[in-house]
Structure 1
Protein backbone atom coordinates (compact mmCIF):
# COMPACT_ATOMS: atom_id res chain seq x y z
CA UNK A 1 0.00 0.00 0.00
CA UNK A 2 1.16 3.55 -0.74
CA UNK A 3 2.33 5.62 2.25
CA UNK A 4 -0.19 8.40 1.61
CA UNK A 5 -3.03 5.90 1.48
CA UNK A 6 -1.77 4.11 4.61
CA UNK A 7 -1.63 7.34 6.64
CA UNK A 8 -5.15 8.16 5.47
CA UNK A 9 -6.39 4.64 6.28
CA UNK A 10 -5.04 4.72 9.85
CA UNK A 11 -6.59 8.18 10.33
CA UNK A 12 -3.55 10.41 10.65
CA UNK A 13 -4.93 12.59 7.86
CA UNK A 14 -8.51 13.48 7.03
CA UNK A 15 -7.95 13.19 3.27
CA UNK A 16 -5.45 11.47 1.02
CA UNK A 17 -4.61 14.85 -0.47
CA UNK A 18 -3.39 16.09 2.92
CA UNK A 19 -1.30 12.93 3.33
CA UNK A 20 0.17 13.35 -0.15
CA UNK A 21 1.03 16.99 0.55
CA UNK A 22 2.77 16.03 3.81
CA UNK A 23 4.88 13.46 1.93
CA UNK A 24 5.84 15.98 -0.74
CA UNK A 25 6.87 18.53 1.87
CA UNK A 26 9.18 16.02 3.55
CA UNK A 27 7.14 15.58 6.74
CA UNK A 28 7.02 11.80 6.32
CA UNK A 29 9.97 9.42 6.57
CA UNK A 30 10.15 5.65 6.40
CA UNK A 31 13.15 4.07 8.13
CA UNK A 32 14.79 7.53 8.39
CA UNK A 33 14.50 8.23 4.64
CA UNK A 34 12.26 10.95 3.17
CA UNK A 35 9.64 9.43 0.91
CA UNK A 36 7.39 10.30 -2.00
CA UNK A 37 3.65 9.68 -1.66
CA UNK A 38 3.86 6.61 -3.90
CA UNK A 39 6.38 4.77 -1.67
CA UNK A 40 5.14 1.33 -0.62
CA UNK A 41 4.68 0.52 3.08
CA UNK A 42 5.37 -2.93 4.49
CA UNK A 43 4.85 -4.47 7.93
CA UNK A 44 7.67 -3.69 10.40
CA UNK A 45 8.47 -0.34 8.72
CA UNK A 46 9.08 2.59 11.05
CA UNK A 47 7.31 5.79 9.99
CA UNK A 48 8.33 9.22 11.29
CA UNK A 49 5.60 11.78 10.73
CA UNK A 50 5.59 15.47 11.59
CA UNK A 51 2.07 16.81 12.05
CA UNK A 52 0.80 19.73 14.14
CA UNK A 53 4.29 20.31 15.55
CA UNK A 54 4.42 16.77 16.95
CA UNK A 55 6.91 14.22 15.66
CA UNK A 56 4.98 10.94 15.61
CA UNK A 57 6.82 7.61 15.41
CA UNK A 58 4.80 4.64 14.16
CA UNK A 59 5.52 1.00 13.54
CA UNK A 60 3.46 -0.70 10.83
CA UNK A 61 1.92 -3.93 12.15
CA UNK A 62 -0.29 -4.78 9.18
CA UNK A 63 -1.74 -3.24 6.06
CA UNK A 64 -5.50 -2.47 6.12
CA UNK A 65 -7.69 -3.21 3.09
CA UNK A 66 -9.27 0.27 3.22
CA UNK A 67 -9.93 3.12 5.68
CA UNK A 68 -10.76 1.71 9.08
CA UNK A 69 -12.67 2.85 12.14
CA UNK A 70 -10.85 4.73 14.89
CA UNK A 71 -11.24 1.82 17.33
CA UNK A 72 -9.41 -0.56 14.98
CA UNK A 73 -6.38 1.64 14.28
CA UNK A 74 -4.21 -0.04 16.94
CA UNK A 75 -4.40 -3.35 15.06
CA UNK A 76 -2.55 -1.87 12.10
CA UNK A 77 0.02 0.36 13.79
CA UNK A 78 1.93 0.81 17.05
CA UNK A 79 2.45 4.39 18.19
CA UNK A 80 5.88 4.76 19.81
CA UNK A 81 5.82 8.57 19.98
CA UNK A 82 7.68 9.82 23.09
CA UNK A 83 5.44 11.45 25.72
CA UNK A 84 7.69 14.53 25.67
CA UNK A 85 6.29 15.39 22.22
CA UNK A 86 2.75 15.64 23.59
CA UNK A 87 3.87 17.54 26.69
CA UNK A 88 5.63 20.09 24.49
CA UNK A 89 2.40 20.50 22.50
CA UNK A 90 0.47 21.16 25.71
CA UNK A 91 2.98 23.84 26.71
CA UNK A 92 2.65 25.44 23.27
CA UNK A 93 -1.08 25.84 23.84
CA UNK A 94 -0.46 27.93 26.94
CA UNK A 95 2.14 30.11 25.26
CA UNK A 96 -0.03 31.02 22.28
CA UNK A 97 -1.80 34.35 22.27
CA UNK A 98 -5.34 33.32 21.32
CA UNK A 99 -6.81 36.78 21.41
CA UNK A 100 -5.78 39.87 19.54
CA UNK A 101 -4.11 42.60 21.51
CA UNK A 102 -6.39 45.35 22.82
CA UNK A 103 -6.79 48.25 20.43
CA UNK A 104 -5.65 46.33 17.37
CA UNK A 105 -8.07 45.92 14.47
CA UNK A 106 -11.84 45.86 14.47
CA UNK A 107 -13.69 44.98 17.67
CA UNK A 108 -14.87 41.41 17.90
CA UNK A 109 -18.50 40.55 18.45
CA UNK A 110 -17.81 40.14 22.16
CA UNK A 111 -16.05 43.51 22.26
CA UNK A 112 -19.01 45.18 20.55
CA UNK A 113 -21.44 43.67 23.05
CA UNK A 114 -19.27 44.82 25.95
CA UNK A 115 -19.14 48.33 24.49
CA UNK A 116 -22.91 48.35 23.97
CA UNK A 117 -23.50 47.15 27.54
CA UNK A 118 -21.13 49.79 28.88
CA UNK A 119 -22.73 52.64 26.92
CA UNK A 120 -26.26 51.45 27.84
CA UNK A 121 -25.29 51.36 31.52
CA UNK A 122 -23.68 54.80 31.28
CA UNK A 123 -26.82 56.28 29.67
CA UNK A 124 -29.10 54.66 32.25
CA UNK A 125 -27.04 55.91 35.20
CA UNK A 126 -26.88 59.38 33.65
CA UNK A 127 -30.67 59.43 33.20
CA UNK A 128 -31.14 58.30 36.82
CA UNK A 129 -28.87 61.12 38.03
CA UNK A 130 -30.79 63.69 35.94
CA UNK A 131 -34.19 62.56 37.26
CA UNK A 132 -33.09 62.88 40.91
CA UNK A 133 -32.23 66.58 40.50
Structure 2
Protein backbone atom coordinates (compact mmCIF):
# COMPACT_ATOMS: atom_id res chain seq x y z
CA UNK A 1 0.00 0.00 0.00
CA UNK A 2 1.49 3.30 -1.14
CA UNK A 3 -1.19 5.74 -0.01
CA UNK A 4 -4.09 5.95 2.45
CA UNK A 5 -6.65 8.61 3.35
CA UNK A 6 -5.46 10.96 6.10
CA UNK A 7 -8.58 10.51 8.24
CA UNK A 8 -8.28 6.74 8.09
CA UNK A 9 -4.57 6.81 8.97
CA UNK A 10 -5.17 9.09 11.97
CA UNK A 11 -7.77 6.60 13.20
CA UNK A 12 -5.67 3.48 12.53
CA UNK A 13 -2.71 4.81 14.54
CA UNK A 14 -5.02 5.83 17.38
CA UNK A 15 -4.73 9.61 17.20
CA UNK A 16 -8.54 9.67 17.43
CA UNK A 17 -11.04 7.30 19.01
CA UNK A 18 -13.21 7.15 15.90
CA UNK A 19 -12.83 7.79 12.22
CA UNK A 20 -15.60 10.35 12.45
CA UNK A 21 -13.59 12.39 14.96
CA UNK A 22 -10.55 12.16 12.69
CA UNK A 23 -12.64 13.25 9.72
CA UNK A 24 -14.07 16.20 11.69
CA UNK A 25 -10.57 17.29 12.73
CA UNK A 26 -9.38 17.28 9.13
CA UNK A 27 -12.49 19.12 7.93
CA UNK A 28 -12.05 21.64 10.74
CA UNK A 29 -8.55 22.54 9.55
CA UNK A 30 -6.80 21.07 12.59
CA UNK A 31 -4.70 18.73 10.45
CA UNK A 32 -2.05 19.95 8.01
CA UNK A 33 0.26 18.02 5.74
CA UNK A 34 3.62 19.67 5.14
CA UNK A 35 2.12 22.94 6.40
CA UNK A 36 -0.98 22.91 4.15
CA UNK A 37 -4.57 22.20 5.24
CA UNK A 38 -6.01 19.22 3.40
CA UNK A 39 -9.33 17.47 2.88
CA UNK A 40 -10.18 14.19 4.62
CA UNK A 41 -9.85 12.39 1.29
CA UNK A 42 -6.20 13.45 0.92
CA UNK A 43 -3.97 10.41 0.44
CA UNK A 44 -0.82 10.48 2.52
CA UNK A 45 2.33 8.52 1.84
CA UNK A 46 5.40 7.58 3.86
CA UNK A 47 7.69 10.41 4.88
CA UNK A 48 5.08 13.16 5.00
CA UNK A 49 4.89 15.50 7.99
CA UNK A 50 1.52 15.78 9.74
CA UNK A 51 0.74 18.76 11.96
CA UNK A 52 -2.13 17.98 14.31
CA UNK A 53 -3.85 20.47 16.61
CA UNK A 54 -5.62 18.54 19.34
CA UNK A 55 -6.91 19.80 22.71
CA UNK A 56 -4.98 23.05 22.31
CA UNK A 57 -1.63 21.35 21.64
CA UNK A 58 0.25 21.30 18.33
CA UNK A 59 1.75 17.92 17.56
CA UNK A 60 3.94 16.96 14.60
CA UNK A 61 4.41 13.46 13.27
CA UNK A 62 6.36 11.92 10.42
CA UNK A 63 4.56 9.03 8.71
CA UNK A 64 6.69 5.85 8.78
CA UNK A 65 4.11 3.15 7.96
CA UNK A 66 0.71 3.07 6.32
CA UNK A 67 -1.85 0.75 7.88
CA UNK A 68 -5.02 -0.67 6.37
CA UNK A 69 -6.71 -1.55 9.67
CA UNK A 70 -6.69 -0.17 13.22
CA UNK A 71 -4.05 -1.85 15.36
CA UNK A 72 -3.07 -2.09 19.02
CA UNK A 73 -1.33 0.91 20.58
CA UNK A 74 2.13 -0.74 20.85
CA UNK A 75 2.05 -1.43 17.11
CA UNK A 76 0.56 1.97 16.25
CA UNK A 77 3.41 3.96 17.82
CA UNK A 78 5.89 2.27 15.48
CA UNK A 79 4.06 3.70 12.47
CA UNK A 80 4.98 7.33 13.09
CA UNK A 81 7.82 9.37 14.49
CA UNK A 82 6.85 12.07 16.98
CA UNK A 83 8.77 15.16 15.88
CA UNK A 84 6.83 17.62 18.03
CA UNK A 85 9.07 20.49 19.21
CA UNK A 86 10.39 20.12 22.76
CA UNK A 87 8.60 23.27 23.98
CA UNK A 88 5.21 21.91 22.88
CA UNK A 89 5.92 18.52 24.47
CA UNK A 90 6.83 20.24 27.75
CA UNK A 91 3.57 22.21 27.62
CA UNK A 92 1.64 18.96 27.10
CA UNK A 93 3.53 17.12 29.87
CA UNK A 94 3.03 20.01 32.31
CA UNK A 95 -0.69 19.90 31.61
CA UNK A 96 -1.00 16.12 31.75
CA UNK A 97 1.29 15.25 34.67
CA UNK A 98 -0.19 15.78 38.09
CA UNK A 99 -3.78 15.34 37.05
CA UNK A 100 -5.56 13.54 39.81
CA UNK A 101 -7.78 10.55 39.40
CA UNK A 102 -11.53 10.61 39.56
CA UNK A 103 -13.37 12.01 42.53
CA UNK A 104 -13.83 9.85 45.59
CA UNK A 105 -17.03 9.57 47.55
CA UNK A 106 -17.33 7.85 50.93
CA UNK A 107 -19.04 4.50 50.87
CA UNK A 108 -22.69 4.63 51.85
CA UNK A 109 -23.22 8.32 51.08
CA UNK A 110 -25.13 7.51 47.89
CA UNK A 111 -25.31 9.47 44.70
CA UNK A 112 -24.96 13.26 44.78
CA UNK A 113 -28.21 15.18 44.82
CA UNK A 114 -28.90 17.91 42.30
CA UNK A 115 -27.76 20.48 44.87
CA UNK A 116 -24.56 18.50 45.55
CA UNK A 117 -23.84 18.26 41.82
CA UNK A 118 -24.24 22.02 41.36
CA UNK A 119 -21.85 22.66 44.27
CA UNK A 120 -19.30 20.21 42.86
CA UNK A 121 -19.52 21.73 39.39
CA UNK A 122 -19.21 25.24 40.82
CA UNK A 123 -16.14 24.24 42.79
CA UNK A 124 -14.53 22.67 39.73
CA UNK A 125 -15.29 25.71 37.57
CA UNK A 126 -13.82 28.08 40.17
CA UNK A 127 -10.69 25.94 40.55
CA UNK A 128 -10.18 25.70 36.78
CA UNK A 129 -10.59 29.46 36.35
CA UNK A 130 -7.98 30.16 39.04
CA UNK A 131 -5.54 27.63 37.57
CA UNK A 132 -6.08 29.01 34.04
CA UNK A 133 -5.52 32.61 35.14
CA UNK A 134 -2.31 31.65 36.98
CA UNK A 135 -1.03 29.97 33.83
CA UNK A 136 -1.67 33.14 31.81
CA UNK A 137 0.68 35.26 33.92
Range of TM-score over shorter length: 0.5 to 0.7
Any unmatched runs of 5+ in structure 2? 99-113, 121-137
**Structure 1 length as normaliser, TM-score?**
0.67
The reply on whether 1:75 has 2:86 as its aligned counterpart is no
The equivalent position to 1:9 in structure 2, one of 8, 12, 25, is 12
Query: Which aligned segments of 4 or more residues in structure 1 are displaced greater than 2 angstroms?
Result: 86-94, 106-112
How many pairs were matched up? 101
- Report the CA distance between 1:82 and its aligned residue: 2.0
The equivalent position to 2:24 in structure 1, one of 17, 21, 44, is 21
**Whose Rg is larger?**
1
Distance 2:78 2:72 in 1: 11
CA deviations over 1:23-73 (Å, ceiling 9, x no partner): 011000001110110000100000000001110100001101210110012
Distance 1:111 1:68 in 2: 42
C-alpha RMSD of the superposition: 2.5
**Structure 2 length as normaliser, TM-score?**
0.66
Aligned to 1:48, the other structure's residue is in SS state: strand
Seen in structure 2, the aligned counterparts of structure 1 residues 64 and 107 have a Cα distance that, compared at 3 Å, is same
CA deviations over 1:53-109 (Å, ceiling 9, x no partner): 110100001101210110012321101112322332425999xxxxxxxxxxx7425
Seen in structure 2, the aligned counterparts of structure 1 residues 107 and 31 have a Cα distance that, compared at 3 Å, is same
The equivalent position to 1:59 in structure 2, one of 62, 75, 78, is 62
Seen in structure 2, the aligned counterparts of structure 1 residues 25 and 111 have a Cα distance that, compared at 3 Å, is closer
